[in-house]
Amino acid sequence: MAAPRPTILHNRVALLLAAAVAAAALTLPFLSFAPNRLLSGRGIPLAGALAGVVDAPWGWAALLPGAVILAVPFLRPSRAVSAVYSAAGVLFAAGLVWLAGAHAAHLAATSAPAARTSFGAGFWVMEAAALLAAMDGVRRLGLPPAWRIAVGGATAALVAAQLAAGHLDQLSILKEYANQRDVFAAAVLRHGLLVAGALVPTLLIGVPLGVLANRSFHVRRLVFPVLNVIQTIPSIALFGLLMAPLSALAGALPGLGISGVGPVPAVIALTFYSLLPIVRNTVEGLDGVPPAVREAARGMGMTRRQVFLKVEVPLALPVFLSGLRITLVQAVGLAAVAALIGAGGLGAIMFQGLFANALDLVLLGAVPVILLAVAVDAALKLAVSLAVSLTGRRAA
């Protein structure tokens, strides 16, 4: 058989990402500059952003990782290459943000205070490609999924450092933040309270319900169809449908402090939606305890309560925590929708931006919601793997 053909292309995934970066750099606007909040901006290509950056060496250094990303498809794969690839992805992602901030500052020096410099489509594509490149590098190194979180964390840390240094202040999203600083803080707090506020009744109702459903076939048969139907109802519809009865109730009993709008219907609806994942995963977790283990525990003389607390709960914990993860991530998103019925939170900033056609406000609301959901997801994934390693069980 003939010797294998010499290949110049070693990594097709990297090629795809490199092509995305190259295409975005050359054809899509990196930034968008508008004279004020309401007018749409003109695009600034990557080259334009570079030319304007005064400390040119830094500008090129920020792009060097990008060059690495373009080169990797043609390098022979090895652990070193994958490690460099991951690092390049993280650095490029942070570098693009740095470049955007620097150019925004440069433009701000020569234009009116009302001018807006925002991220363009090219920025988003390159940023996504950079992060995917970093994650692909980590994956090729064969590292466990927790490292993907580390990659995100590293990029976030570098961006946070830039934020703290004030380097990104001239970008429109941060100018918007500057205008809304108190509102933003209050919104984040409110958003967290909505989620936490729903979590308590969900756990108080859902966990016992799950335990009951695990023990009794009849409870199971009754509970799940109802919860499934609730889950199917679109969130905005459920929020809307709760408004009228709660308003009526508020009218009848003003002293209770409930109303048809605001956080109360939001928390009630959030609780309804959170019940299914919690109940379902409690049931699944308990179902997953091998009957032999239960029997052995009873045989050793443990009371029912001891069996539950010392045997069933630890073994069901990973699956339960998985359900908690789903619940919380879902709740973060639903709380954003709840802003439509006046519940406040980050969704309020987001929808305010949508209704007023202030796109940076939209981002100021939407991006933190996404980051919050991802952070909650990552935190609970770590909790699950911790539970798995402590109890030696596999999660759902």
The interaxial angle of helices 146-164 and 79-109, nearest 10 deg, is 30
Report, in Å, the least distance between residue 304 CB and other proteins.
36
Binder among 347, 384, 387, 395 for other proteins (CB under 8 A)? 347
Q: Give the nearer residue to other proteins in terms of CB position, either 240 or 288.
A: 240
Report, in Å, the least distance between residue 84 CB and other proteins.
18
Q: Is 192 in the site for other proteins (CB under 8 A)?
A: no
Q: Do 269 and 238 form a contact (C-beta atoms < 8 A)? A: yes
Report, in Å, the least distance between residue 312 CB and other proteins.
29
Q: Give the nearer residue to other proteins in terms of CB position, either 11 or 214.
A: 11
The torsion defined by the Cα of 81, 82, 84 and 88, in degrees rounded to 10, comes to 130
Candidates 109-117, 205-213, 316-324, 350-358: pick the segment binding other proteins (CB under 8 A).
350-358
Total residues at interface with other proteins (CB under 8 A): 55
Binder among 84, 314, 377, 396 for other proteins (CB under 8 A)? 377
Q: Give the nearer residue to other proteins in terms of CB position, either 207 or 233.
A: 233
Question: Binding to other proteins (CB under 8 A): which residues in 117-156?
Answer: 118, 121, 124, 132, 135-136, 139, 148
What strands lie across the sheet with 31-34, from one edge to the other?
42-44, 31-34, 116-119
Binder among 5, 6, 7, 12 for other proteins (CB under 8 A)? 12
Binder among 187, 267, 366, 387 for other proteins (CB under 8 A)? 366
Q: Do 256 and 248 form a contact (C-beta atoms < 8 A)? A: no
Report, in Å, the least distance between residue 259 CB and other proteins.
12
Binder among 236, 313, 383, 388 for other proteins (CB under 8 A)? 236
Q: Is 360 in the site for other proteins (CB under 8 A)?
A: yes
Q: Is 341 in the site for other proteins (CB under 8 A)?
A: yes
Binding site for other proteins (CB under 8 A): 1, 11-13, 16, 118, 121, 124, 132, 135-136, 139, 148, 228-229, 232-238, 240-241, 243-244, 247, 260, 329, 332-334, 336-337, 340-341, 347, 350-351, 353-355, 357, 359-360, 362-363, 365-367, 369-370, 373-374, 377
